[in-house]
Structure 1
Amino acid sequence: MMNKIMDFMTNKFAPKVNKVVKNPWVAAIQDSIMAALPLVFVGSLVTVVSLLKNIFSGLPDFSMISNFSFGMFGLVVSFLIPYYLMEKKGNSGQKLISGATGLVLFMMLLFPTVTAEGNATFILSRFGATGMFLAIISGLFVSCIMNFAAKHSLFDEDTPIPDFVVGWFNSLLPITFILLVGWFITVQMNVDFFEVVIWAFSPLAKIVQSYPGFVLSVFIPVFLYTFGISGWVMMPAIYPVYMAGLAANAEAVANGGQAVNIATQETCYAFSSMGGVGTTLALSVMMLLLSKSA
């Protein structure tokens, strides 16, 4: 029985999952999150240093650094997803403008309040980890439209028009369409798409933030690793929940409350991944203490 399970996982299940991992759409999300992680590290470091203010009252307020590092995580991801996806699709010439368009659409869908004088007001917390799901959706949508447009150029390959001019016109229609979609949702329909996305993914967040769900979110990637499947395949679904939980914990503690979300990357690093994924530090200690000499 066990041999049949191992054979199924190794020869049938693993190759299919590895195809998903190598899919450019999934890989673009993974690369975007990995590229933006230094912002999380900076924000976490500043948060730890800020705790010392409870002891040394003379320390300056570093919260602004955290707000514009970890607090801009979603904004950065909304740029990086179209950037990496266009690169992986072989449309590197359009990756910068695609990333910029993803950033602009993300900001439109944050549902800013615009006064008659032209002043726009955003909710700062939406730029951070709580906006990751929206950043992923907007980034993938922009990538889809821009990639389609890149395959259907308005000009022939042998056109005498300079390449940069061709790029301008090829980007004009897809960018206009993308921004019209954002305008229609935000202005015409008056829909706070950020809240819609949060509501749509709230069941997943509740499951992962429960103790059984958190255990599964840690166990499944490790289980997949045993069959040669990269655990990063779970990142697009799990990591936004982890980051949103971390942001909620940080906000609660900053307001004098308690951190209640257990499913965060920091929890994994501190406990289940101590010494490596699968708690390999415990294995090393056991080998040191329990192994016998040859």
Structure 2
Amino acid sequence: MNKLINWLSISFAPKAKKLFSHPWIAAVADSMQKMVPFILAGSLIFIYNVIKSYVSALPDLSNISNFTFGMLGLIVAFLVASSVMENLHHQAYIQVAGLTSIAVYLVNMTPKINEKNIMQIDFSRFGASGLFVAIVNGLFVAIIFHLWSKIHLLEDSSIPDFFVNWINDIFPILISVAIATVFVFSLKLDIFKIIQWLFSPLQGFGQTLPGFILLSLIPAFFYTLGISSWSFNAITMPIFMAGITANIAAVKTGHAPMNIDTYEVMFTSALITLGGMGATLPLNILMFTAKAKKLKILSKVCIFPSLFNINEPLMYSTPVVMNPLLMIPIWINAIIGPIVIWIVMRIGLLNIPSKMIQVGQVPAPISSVMVTQDWRAIICYIVLFTIYLLVWYPFFKVYDNSLVKESTEK
């Protein structure tokens, strides 16, 4: 085990951090993080709609959700292109590339313009279902602008700077939009459907039990190496968003929601991530019984954030990160949690969420009931808390005793 941990800390973790900090990869991850306020704005409306279902006199605010959560694809198209330009230090192109990406995204939606100049687009393509399309769209535009920046056209000429800047904006804009229009209007290709088809195996796998486990385990594994789970949002968020969007649509048409792998199940319900990724709240509770003075103090410091599913203070102060004894239970919990939730939801013992609620800092089991709209979530919470506690206990005791021994020796 020591050899494994040494390899992870000395060789694997630094290389992984370097990979995830690559400008192009980091730009996509940053974009997923920057879109969170729009997701939360839409989530608040879904929570409001739960209240409205009991108080019919309240006004309909669904258009707020339509133009926040319902615009995620369009927003991400801008964010990806502009974030890449920022990471590559092309300051002059940050806004222009983002705006060009929006224009190209609109083309890729395959709009139909009738004789009265009225443009018709399937509104659902602007939302969460278009996230993979938006990422590819933004990266495509970013590549065009990045390649053009290497030409340095007219930069050393006597022509005024503002005119040179215009020229160097016009050409990448024209190239980006021209390529998109050729594919969509001349070759009659539905880019949206093509990209969705290319990524459909990934989305399909994400909604299987092995996919569900991996989408829990992989971010948790890297988190124990000190790499934030945000690094994986480029992969996880489109799967989560597509899942909950399909569930919402299914309920509207009178069908049952089927997608378990959603943000609501993985995070908001706080059943899998009880106290934070890796289910660290039971560890925090165990720390109140610690013999080591350090753990006893930290238990009081970290408990408030842990109750609200924020475990960074615990992860880095205990520490759990790069701690051979405490990393393993994180990995075990990241496997057990998804398996238990998958089974109880598939056999009908707990409702599959059909409302987008991504306000993740609501304490469980309040959040568990709120997300599933099922009081049985309290039973699931108690069962999982007990399982997580049993997983943590032996590792915690060994670590606690090691700290006591170390303190005594000093």
TM range (shorter): over 0.9
Relative to structure 1, the CA distance from residue 3 to residue 179 in structure 2 (aligned partners, 3 Å threshold; closer, same or farther) is same
Q: Deviations over 1:251-272 (max 9, x none)?
A: 2233443322111112122222
Structure 2 residue identity aligned to 1:90:
H
Name 2:77's counterpart in structure 1.
Answer: 78
**Matches of 2:153 and 2:225 in 1, distance apart?**
47
Deviation at residue 291 of structure 1 after TM alignment? 4.4
Cross-structure match for 1:43: 42
Equivalent residue, structure 1, for 2:129:
130
Letter of the 1:204 partner, please give it.
L
One-letter amino acid matched to 1:57: S
Query: Which residue of 1 is the match for residue 285 of structure 2?
Result: 285
Structure 2 CA distance for partners of 1:144 and 1:292, relative to 1, 3 Å: same
Matched, 1:163 2:161: yes
Other structure's SS at 1:261 match:
coil
12-21 vs 32-41, which moves further: 12-21
1:257 lines up with 2:217 in the alignment: no
Cα contact 2:70–2:128 (8 A) shared by 1? yes
Shift of 1:228: 2.8
Match of 2:392 in 1: none
Larger radius of gyration: 2
Name 1:221's counterpart in structure 2.
219
Tell me, yes or no, if the aligned pair for 1:30 and 1:232 is still in contact at 8 Å. Answer: yes
Whole-angstrom CA distance in 2 between matches of 1:41 and 1:259: 21
Moved more, 23-32 or 8-17: 8-17
* Corresponding residue for residue 272 of structure 1: 272
Following the alignment from structure 1 to structure 2, what is the Cα–Cα distance between the partners of residues 115 and 101?
24
CA contact (8 A) 2:222 2:229 kept: yes
Counterparts of 2:57 and 2:228 in 1: how far apart (Å)?
47
Q: Would the aligned equivalents of 1:129 and 1:247 in 2 still touch at CA under 8 Å? A: yes
- Which stretch of the first structure deviates more once superposed, 120-129 or 160-169? 160-169
Contact 1:46 1:63 (C-alpha < 8 Å) held by counterparts: yes
* Aligned equivalents of 1:162, 1:252: Cα separation in 2: 58
- The secondary structure found in structure 1 opposite 2:259 is coil
Task: Check if 1:95 corresponds to 2:94.
Answer: yes
Q: Is the 8 A contact 1:109 1:186 kept in 2?
A: yes
2:35 counterpart SS class: helix
Secondary structure of 2:227 counterpart: coil
Q: Structure 1 residue 211: deviation in Å?
A: 2.0
Over 3 Å counting, the alpha-carbon distance change for 1:283 and 1:168 in structure 2 is same
User: Superposition pairs for residues 1-294 of structure 1, below 5 Å?
Assistant: 2-157=1-156, 159-269=157-267, 270=269, 271-288=271-288, 291=290
Q: CA deviation at 1:286?
A: 3.3
TM-superposed deviation, 1:292: 5.7
Contact 2:33 2:230 in 1 (8 A): no
Give yes or no for contact 1:21–1:230 (8 Å, CA) kept in 2: no
Contact 1:78–1:135 (8 Å) recurs in 2: yes
Structure 1 residues 258 and 282: alpha-carbon distance in aligned structure 2, compared to 1, 3 A threshold: farther
SS of 1:272's equivalent?
Answer: coil
Against the structure 1 CA distance between its residues 285 and 32, is the aligned structure 2 distance closer, same or farther, given a 3 Å change threshold? same
Partners of 2:258 and 2:282 in 1: CA distance? 27
Q: Distance in 2 between matches of 1:62 and 1:121?
A: 24
Q: Distance in 2 between matches of 1:164 and 1:138?
A: 28
By how many angstroms is 1:129 displaced?
Answer: 0.8
CA shift for structure 1 position 3: 2.7
Distance 1:15 1:293 in 2: 31
* Distance (Å, rounded) in 2 between the aligned partners of 1:109 and 1:127: 11
Deviation at 1:186, TM superposition (A): 0.6
Q: Which amino acid aligns with 1:210?
A: T
- TM-superposed CA distance for 1:214, in Å, is 0.9
Distance 1:16 1:62 in 2: 47
Normalised to the residue count of structure 2, the TM-score between the two structures is 0.68
Q: Structure 1 residue 183: deviation in Å? A: 0.6
Shift of 1:237: 1.6
- Amino acid of the structure 1 residue aligned with 2:209: Y
Deviation at 1:209, TM superposition (A): 1.1
Deviation digits for residues 11-34 of structure 1 (CA, Å, limit 9, x no counterpart) = 222222111111010111111111
Deviation at 1:42, TM superposition (A): 0.9
Contact 2:155 2:164 in 1 (8 A): no
Unpaired segments of 5 or more residues in structure 2? 294-410
Change (3 A) 1:293 1:236: closer
**Residue range with higher mean Cα deviation, 246-255 or 197-206:** 246-255
